[in-house]
């Protein structure tokens, strides 16, 4: 069995984090680099941010490579994966973090706005899992960690597209976990609550005080609050855990 670093790491293994240029993705890239042989991170349009993430990883003593990928586009996914596999050889840990939102009330929600969110959050996750799970099964070891949201369980005003996409990610994760389990590959989801990122800026500016009152810990989360659970799920220590959704929300969903 591979040695565990600080109880959570997987030395010598390669990690892919989609949407790793900023926010939660950047925090996960830096945290995962402590244990990984190399972290491959993807970005869509913000190359300077991706370069900054890479620099931060290297300053912390890790190795990283950056690759452009639009998870909504199957061609871009294929080209990005070719670039990643050429750089690192294979992927042991896949973290599907790339995500977006585009809020709007039902009667103002056009199909393009709905489809764009579902394409990114659900289809992007599907495309990466489908492309990499086969090799993980052949190698008889792999970790898939899909970023969901507490919105998958309780929705939200103007969030029908986002909540639906994340609920689907949960169901998708549970289903592939069953398919992959016998080959040593686990699949789990992590559902953050209100984390301070650009993605949540608008929602927090409109509803921040009311939402904060509902969080038992009385604070919003930081991207780094996700690091512990994701590093654990990527490790050998989590080898008997699959098909689960782990909520990280300061108690919001139980209040």
- Kindly list the catalytic residues: 162
Q: Give the span between the Cα atoms of 20 and 95, in whole angstroms.
A: 10
Taking the mean position of all CA atoms in its chain, how far away is CA 250? 19
Closest of 201, 249, 199 to residue 221, by C-alpha: 249
Tokens (6 digits) for 198: 């650009």
Indicate the DSSP class of residue 187: E
Rounded to whole angstroms, the Cα distance separating 149 from 152 reads 6
Quote the crossing angle between the two packed helices 23-32 and 47-59, to the nearest 10°. 30
Residue 78 CA to residue 42 CA, distance in Å, equals 13
Contact yes or no for 167/173 (Cβ under 8 A): no
Q: N- to C-terminal Cα distance for the chain?
A: 40
Closest CA to 31 of 196, 224, 195: 224
H or E segment and range at residue 11: none
């Amino acid at each position: 069995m591979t040695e565990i670093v600080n109880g959570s790491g997987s030395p010598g293994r390669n990690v892919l984090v989609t949407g790793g240029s900023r926010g939660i993705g950047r925090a996960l890239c830096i945290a995962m680099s402590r244990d990984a042989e190399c972290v491959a991170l993807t970005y869509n349009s913000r190359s300077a941010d991706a370069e900054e993430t890479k620099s931060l990883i290297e300053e912390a003593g890790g190795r990283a490579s950056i690759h452009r990928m639009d998870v909504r586009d199957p061609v871009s996914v294929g080209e990005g994966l070719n670039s990643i596999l050429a750089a690192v050889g294979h992927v042991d840990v896949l973290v599907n973090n790339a995500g977006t939102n585009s809020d709007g009330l039902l009667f103002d929600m056009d199909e393009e706005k709905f489809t764009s969110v579902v394409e990114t959050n659900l289809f992007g996750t599907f495309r990466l899992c489908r492309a990499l799970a086969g090799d993980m099964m052949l190698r008889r070891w792999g970790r898939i960690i899909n970023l969901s949201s507490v919105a998958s369980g309780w929705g939200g005003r103007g969030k029908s597209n986002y909540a639906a996409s994340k609920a689907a990610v949960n169901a998708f994760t549970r289903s592939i976990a069953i398919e992959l389990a016998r080959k040593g590959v686990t699949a789990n989801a992590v559902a953050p609550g209100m984390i301070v990122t650009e993605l949540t800026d608008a929602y927090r500016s409109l509803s921040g005080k009311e939402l904060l009152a509902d969080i038992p810990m009385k604070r919003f989360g930081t991207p780094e609050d996700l690091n512990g659970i994701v590093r654990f799920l990527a490790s050998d220590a989590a080898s008997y855990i699959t098909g689960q959704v782990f909520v990280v929300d300061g108690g919001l969903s139980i209040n």
